[in-house]
Amino acid sequence: AQSVTQLGSHVSVSEGALVLLRCNYSSSVPPYLFWYVQYPNQGLQLLLKYTSAATLVKGINGFEAEFKKSETSFHLTKPSAHMSDAAEYFCAGGYQKVTFGTGTKLQVIP
């Protein structure tokens, strides 16, 4: 069965610090991977997606993610956190059906 796993349900960073949110996928997941963001009381919106064209994927709001097949990972990073980045982030992957991770809440400390 395909699945994605997010490590860490809560992550806190200082404003201006590096953001690193971790996602690993099962080996049966094809290389269609996504990161979504959910701001409070809103639906999810796409940050970026990997579709095998390039291993480093750039998304909106300065986020990027690197696909590493050897590590079965698709971690999300941002060089410098901003207060407006506080939200819940979901890694997802799938083919016919998309499987979502359990989410990571990012807190940005001023």
Q: Is 26 a binder of other proteins (CB under 8 A)?
A: no
Beta carbon of residue 109, minimum distance to other proteins (angstroms, whole number): 22
108: region left, alpha or beta (phi > 0 left; psi from -120 to 50 alpha): beta
Q: For residue 81, give the 3-state DSSP assignment.
A: coil
Contact pattern for other proteins over residues 58 through 97, marking x by CB under 8 A: --------------------------------x--xxxxx
At 70, which amino acid appears? S
86, 108 contact by CB (below 8 A) = yes
Q: Which residues bind other proteins (CB under 8 A)?
A: 6, 9, 30, 32, 34, 36, 41-46, 49, 51, 90, 93-103
